[in-house]
């Protein structure tokens, strides 16, 4: 991520300035809040609530609304602090993980505090009003002792430095941190040996290890004018490349997709197509959605931002032959995959385009169930207003960003829906990211 553009009206840069501060509450984004003696807000990474630290400014200037900083010395550590297991974690190093320095249970508590704060600030909801017990649940197999790291990331985007070494981006920077091994990478990614090869001429390499099969894939993004290397990795792998002119993904050799599994079905996921990164995520979220919606035979349902058809497939199984499911997805490739994956269901239709454009054109005026899994920015006020007008018995909202979720829940409330339940899952251990499933239902008349 690029640094924010400098305000021409701002004062002198404070980068490098150090402050001894007391660390306050966690904030959305993988940092905690502190204040300088002058009252200027600091967003401090590598710190934990309640600690006293020396914070060094990494971005900002005099008069700025806030400064970004790293905790470079911990003077009074939290009981939740551990030594980061990863040798590449810490101030100025890899930006991939936010909470390597916190015990696993503390990481989940911090994520829960962020969700609660966003719900209150943006939706005016307490955890009780959202039907949430305040916990963030670990994925199966991820509950490990402090100092151990789950290897969960089945898709890793490596950057390449000037010497051809594969690494990961530093926080809010284009600079590359060369690494020998990423601790959160899934075993199927690590066994490819990406970090051991010379990638001169490449800008980036994405490594994918399907959790539903033995499929392995690398997607190469060459620098302008560079030739592709001969890819010889430690395991069989298909190779794709990103086109210099069209930005599309093209097959070099092997399958142009990987095969994933969820709900007893195999899903084809084309290069660049979306599939949950944690091996347990697709199944976990699918079950949470179906348990919340309780589909009935004959129901009509919408699966919005449907990707390759995960929720549409689960719905199709449960609404039966007299039911109907419409999926809408903007990615042309994902739509092709979804149609392939759900070809056995006559009752499923997949439309390509943006939800806000396609949904009004369908002419649908009422529906029984809705699932939406929007991108990080959320669905937005107009789409939520449209959905609230369809009279669905229940709506499942899958969210990877608690701020976007909270905003949209506020819009749903304006449209006559209340949150029946909310569940949170730690499907991105060591990072600040968290996945939520909210189940909504209409407010009873007269309530």
Q: Tokens representing 319? A: 């609404």
Q: Give the SS3 label for residue 262.
A: strand
- DSSP 3-state assignment of 203? strand
Is 400 considered catalytic here?
A: yes
Instruction: Return d(Cα 252, Cα 230) in angstroms, integer.
Output: 11
Largest CA distance in the chain: 68
Positions marked active-site: 400
């Amino acid at each position: 991520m690029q640094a924010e553009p400098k305000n021409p009206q701002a004062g002198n840069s404070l980068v490098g300035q150090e402050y001894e501060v007391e660390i306050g509450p966690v904030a959305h984004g993988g940092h905690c809040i502190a204040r300088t003696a002058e009252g200027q807000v600091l967003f401090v990474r590598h710190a934990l609530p309640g600690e006293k630290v020396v914070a060094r400014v990494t971005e900002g200037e005099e008069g700025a609304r806030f400064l970004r900083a790293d905790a470079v010395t911990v003077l009074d550590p939290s009981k939740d602090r551990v030594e980061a297991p990863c040798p590449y974690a810490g101030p100025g190093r890899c930006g991939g993980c936010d909470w390597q320095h916190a015990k696993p249970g503390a990481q989940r508590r911090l994520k829960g505090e962020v969700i609660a704060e966003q719900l209150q600030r943006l939706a005016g909801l307490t955890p009780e009003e959202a039907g949430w017990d305040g916990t963030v649940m670990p994925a199966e197999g991820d509950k490990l002792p402090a100092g151990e790291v789950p290897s969960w990331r089945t898709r890793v985007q490596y950057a390449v430095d000037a010497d051809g070494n594969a690494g990961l981006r530093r926080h809010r920077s284009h600079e590359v941190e060369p690494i020998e091994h990423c601790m959160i990478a899934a075993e199927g990614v690590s066994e490819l040996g990406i970090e051991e090869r010379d990638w001169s001429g490449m800008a980036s390499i994405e490594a994918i290890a399907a959790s539903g099969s033995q499929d392995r894939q690398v997607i190469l993004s060459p620098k302008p004018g560079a030739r592709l290397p001969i890819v010889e990795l430690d395991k069989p792998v298909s190779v794709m490349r990103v086109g210099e002119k069209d930005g599309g993904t093209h097959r070099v050799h092997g399958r142009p997709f990987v095969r994933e599994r969820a709900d007893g079905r195999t899903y084809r996921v084309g290069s660049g197509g979306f599939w949950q990164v944690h091996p347990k995520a697709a199944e976990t979220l699918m079950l949470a959605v179906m348990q919340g919606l309780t589909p009935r035979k004959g129901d009509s349902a919408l699966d919005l931002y449907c990707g390759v058809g995960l929720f549409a497939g689960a719905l199709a199984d449960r609404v039966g032959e007299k039911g109907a499911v419409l999926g809408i997805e903007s990615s042309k490739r994902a739509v092709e995959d979804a149609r392939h994956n759900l070809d056995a269901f006559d009752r499923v239709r997949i439309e390509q385009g943006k939800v806000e454009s396609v949904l009004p054109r369908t002419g649908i005026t009422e529906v029984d169930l809705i699932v939406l899994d929007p991108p990080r920015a959320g669905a937005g006020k107009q789409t939520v207003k449209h959905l609230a007008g369809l009279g669905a018995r229940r709506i499942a909202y899958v969210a990877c960003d608690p701020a976007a979720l909270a905003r949209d829940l506020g819009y749903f409330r304006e449209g006559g829906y209340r949150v029946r339940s909310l569940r949170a899952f730690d499907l991105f251990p060591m990072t600040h990211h968290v996945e939520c499933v909210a189940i909504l239902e209409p407010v009873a008349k007269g309530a």
